[in-house]
Amino acid sequence: MTIIQLIAVLAITILLNFLWLNLFKVENQSPNTAVHENYISNSINENDGATSKKQSRKVLNYIYLLLAIFPLLGGLWAMNYWLSDYNSGKDSLSWDEYDGRILEKTISQCSNAGTTGHQLAGRTYRPTVKYEFTYNNKLITWDKISFLNFPCSGDKDKSQKVLDNLPDINEEVKVYFSAKHKQSVLITGTENISYFGLIGGVFFYCLGLIGIRLIYS
């Protein structure tokens, strides 16, 4: 995540907090009502049972806060992970080009079939490759296709389409390598990138923000 992207996330967070405060603003209490409630509150605080309930409420608030922080941090991590791949994909357009060779080209199975139902139920797949190229007289073997975030899918044909667009085994292939990032890909850019990771990250981040606001509202 770049500085600009981080500032954008912080700005959106501040904006959401501002909207929350204005859309769910609690009306001010009248003076008489406030004095009456303060009197009742002071009377209750003198009771040991009320003090115990207050302490229990604090403990519950801490628990709720921890539960809200998990989706908040998880969403932030997911957004950062997706944006890092997106930035690398954009940057890969300027990476140096090298001659390489395809070593392997297969469809990997992400998850096994379930114990019940159809034999193929629950299986998901993704395209995997292995290729080699020479950099500074050193033979490097790598396996990253691109930064397009190919998700595991139950549709095997999607993985096959990706592999069909690549040269066959033992054929030459153009490899794009960055010594700075220590990464290489066969497909550069971010065209047709999956936005699932970003959408999921934003969802959980907002869920955590709403939870924290509800606790302290």
Please indicate, yes or no, whether residues 63 and 132 belong to a single structural domain of this protein: no
Residue 148 zone, left/alpha/beta (φ > 0; ψ -120 to 50; rest): alpha
pLDDT 10s digits, 139-154: 999 999 998 877 787 8
Q: Is residue 214 in a domain?
A: yes
Helix (H) / strand (E) element for 142: namely strand 138-142
Kindly report, residue by residue over 25-36, the tens digit of the pLDDT: 554 444 454 444
Number of domains in the chain: 2
Q: Does 207 share its domain with 128? A: no
What pLDDT shows up at residue 29?
45
Structural domain span for residue 60: 47-90+194-217
**135 and 72 within one domain:** no
**165 within some domain:** yes
Q: Do residues 155 and 202 both lie within one domain?
A: no
Q: Would you state the pLDDT for residue 119?
A: 46
82, 163: one domain: no
pLDDT of residue 205: 87
Residue 195 has pLDDT above 60, yes or no: yes
In this structure, the answer to whether residues 86 and 167 fall within a common structural domain is: no
Give yes or no: residues 60 and 138 share one domain.
no
Residue 78 lies in a domain: yes
Percent of the chain with pLDDT over 70: 72
Read off the pLDDT of each residue in 103-125 and give the average, rounded to a whole number: 70
Residues 153 and 106 grouped into a single domain:
yes
DSSP letters for 47-103: SHHHHHHHHHHHHHHHHHHHHHHHHHHHHHHHHHHHHHHHHHHHHGGGSEEEEEEEE
125 pairs with which residues across the strands? 109, 153
4: in domain: no
Same domain, 100 and 86: no
> Of 37-46, 160-169, 189-198, 203-212, where does mean pLDDT reach its minimum?
37-46
Read off the DSSP letter of residue 165.
T
37 within a domain of the structure (yes/no): no
Q: What is the pLDDT of residue 143?
A: 93
Joined tokens for residue 21: 């405060």
Q: How confident is the model at residue 52 (pLDDT cuts 50, 70, 90)?
A: low
Is 105 a domain residue?
yes
* Entry pTM: 0.67
Based on the domain organization, do 172 and 215 belong to the same domain?
no
Looking at the fold, whether 100 and 179 belong to one and the same domain comes out as: yes
- Classify residue 41: in a domain, yes or no: no
